[in-house]
Amino acid sequence: MSTFDPGFLWGAATSSYQIEGAVAEDGRGPSIWDTFAATPGAVRGGDTGAVAADHYHRFPEDIALMSQLGLRAYRFSLAWPRIQPTGSGPVNQRGLDFYRRLTDTLLDHGIQPWPTLYHWDLPQPLEDAGGWPVRDTAERFAEYAALTHDALGDRITHWTTLNEPWCSAFLGYATGRHAPGRREPAAAVRAAHHLLLAHGLAAEAIRDDDSHVGITLNLTHVTPLTTEPADLDAARRVDGMQNRLFLDPLLRGAYPDDVLDDLREVTGTGHIQDGDLKRIGAPLDHLGINYYAPTLVAGSTAPVQSAYVGSPLVRVADGGRPKTAMGWEIDDKGLLALLLRLKADYPAVPLYITENGAAFDDVVERDGVAGVAGAVHGAVREVVHDADRIAYLDGHLRSCARAIGQGVPLKGYFVWSLLDNFEWSFGYGPRFGIVHVDYATQRRTAKDSAHWYAEVIRRGGL
Ligand code: FCB
């Protein structure tokens, strides 16, 4: 057990706004995250992505590190506002050139570039014109995808359209916890559809004989607190909103009827046009899954404001398991259950875990002994003994191995994240990296988990 196929794709993931910095350089336009982060109270500590991990300038060093770790693939995202600063019109050559250099450097090191076209940094002018609740944004996205594919398609084979459209729609437009910070549930439902449409249109625009096109969803394993009808209904609704609202149109070409019924009063179905579902449901070359935690839910007697639009009588319950620094419950069995459920309920498509990982309160220690592991600065070696992260990753990889053993077509795994980074509305507090970043000096230090992961890759398993 726990030996993976030799072709299994071992990688690590990041995203543009979370690591690049250089937000005003080389013609990049503002994104909704620049605007949101500048809004008082939106991000903890007033943190912004203005500098982040300075990857824009340090990518050669970061890629050298990836190479030392033996990564086979690197999942990153392309910042739309670097490539098309206003979200429409001509490309910004300097923005494209950055991704050309990045991609070429990866290829020089034998690391497969695995870009995502959209990881939440919408050009601000498109939000000013209405954002994702407006259908035109989907058309603009397809245009951006086509331009980018034209420019980089000679060196990139695997494309992901969107990262976690659930977050873009429901955290961006319903709870307002993410950019653009709107609290308009009906708009959020329209946003979800237009994001799916954007995926469909973009996939159509970039698919050719050399391109594999997929999408990444944040899926969860939902269980009811008890078998009481209210809890069962809560589980149906949360599974509906977070999993099936996206999986069904993508993999079966239709929205789930029960979810449409739940949403009918919120926003109707007028925004869904003839032909949309055919486009959204065109065959995928791969499906990316981001998995962090399971979701235990219960019915509520009083209305609860949540991301589960149309389902006010639903609350998330505590399963009593140990938690990460995000307060997310640790449950690798949830990942196994999710993968087996995908196999049972949906047509087979190559699957990749495109994010999995954990934030913990890491401590940098200096042990004064120079050695091969850890970063050596002068005579002092800095180390981060993140045994909790190793245990998390180990458990989830075991679930991956079990799923593969039971016939799940899982082809790769990307740890979130390569580097500590800007964790959205939580700012720089939570550290998800297998590589520690000292934000004051931008010094990188491989944590124990990075060395452990390198060994897993080297052996091809646990
Ligand atoms: C996911 C995001 C990613 C990161 C992790 C912790 O929802 O895709 O950018 O923030 O959570």
Is 290 close to ligand 1, i.e. is its CB under 6 Å away? yes
- For residue 242 and ligand 1, the question of a CB distance below 6 A is answered with no
Contact 164 CB / ligand 1 (< 6 Å):
yes
Number of residues that make up the chain: 462
Say yes or no: CB of residue 424 within 6 Å of ligand 1.
Answer: yes
Query: Cα(416)–Cα(419) distance, rounded to whole angstroms?
Result: 8
Write down the H helix ranges in 124-256: 124-128, 136-152, 165-166, 185-206, 229-239, 245-252
Are the CB atoms for 215 and 192 separated by under 8 Å?
no
CB of 423 within 6 A of ligand 1: the answer is yes
| Ligand 1 center to 4 CA (angstroms) | 25
From CA 399, how far away is CA 340, in angstroms rounded? 10
* Full set of structural domains in the chain with CATH: 9-357+385-459 (3.20.20.80)
**Sites in the chain below the pLDDT cut of 50:** 1, 370-373
Task: Using alpha carbons, select from 116, 17, 105 the residue that is nearest to residue 61.
Answer: 105
Q: Which of 20, 127, 329, 355 is catalytic?
A: 355
Task: Name the residue with the closest Cα to ligand 1, atom 10.
Answer: 423
* Cβ count near 7 (within 10 Å): 9
Q: Rounded CA gap, 17 and 50, in Å?
A: 8
406 Cα: distance to centroid of ligand 1 (angstroms): 28
Q: How far is the CA of 375 from the centre of ligand 1 (A)?
A: 26
Q: Which atom of ligand 1 is closest in space to residue 432's alpha carbon?
A: 6
In this predicted structure, what is the pLDDT of residue 378? Answer: 64
Q: What is the position in ligand 1's atom list of the atom closest to the CA of 423?
A: 10
How many angstroms separate the alpha carbon of residue 210 from the centre of ligand 1?
29
Q: Check residue 412 and give its pLDDT.
A: 98
Exactly one of 20, 164, 329, 423 is catalytic; name it.
164
Would you call 164 a catalytic residue per the annotation? yes
Task: Write the DSSP string, 292-355.
Answer: ---EEEEE-SS---SSSTT-TTEEEE-----B-TTSPBP-HHHHHHHHHHHHHHS----EEEEE
- Quote the pLDDT of residue 372: 43
Q: Is 353 exposed, middle or buried (0-12, 13-18, 19+ CB in 10 A)?
A: buried
- 354-385 in b/e form (b: 16+ CB < 10 A) is bbbbbbbebeeeeeeeeeeebbeeeeebbbbb
pLDDT score at 367: 77
Tell me the two tokens of residue 359: 């934030």
CA of 229 to the centre of ligand 1 (A): 33
Sign of dihedral through CA atoms 261, 265, 271, 273? positive
> Using CA atoms in the order 341, 344, 350, 352, what is the torsion angle rounded to 10 degrees?
10
Whole-Å CA distances, 442 to 58, 90, 251, 269, 270 = 9, 34, 42, 48, 49
Q: Which atom in ligand 1 lies closest to the alpha carbon of residue 326?
A: 6
Asked if 222 contacts 238 with a C-beta cutoff of 8 angstroms, the reply is: yes
* Residue 170 CA to ligand 1 centre (angstroms): 14
Write out pLDDT tens, residues 285-333: 999 999 999 999 999 999 999 999 999 999 999 999 999 999 999 999 9
Pocket residue to mutate for ligand 1, from 47, 120, 424, most atoms within 8 A of Cβ = 424
Provide φ and ψ at 287, rounded to 5°. -120, 125
Binding site membership of 291 for ligand 1 (Cβ less than 6 Å): no
Is 443 in contact with 375 (CB distance < 8 Å)?
yes
Q: Are 435 and 453 in contact (CB under 8 A)?
A: no
Q: What separation in Å is there between the alpha carbon of 43 and the centre of ligand 1?
A: 15
How far is 410 from 121, CA to CA, in rounded Å? 28
Task: Look up residue 118 and give its amino acid.
Answer: Y
Question: Which of 43, 423, 426 has most ligand 1 atoms within 8 Å of its beta carbon, as the pocket-test mutant?
Answer: 423
Token pair belonging to 101: 């250099």
Strands 158-163 and 73-77: unpaired
Indicate which atom in ligand 1 lies nearest the CA of residue 216. Answer: 8
b/e map of 142-160 (b: 16 or more CB within 10 Å)?
bbbbbbbbebbeeebebbb
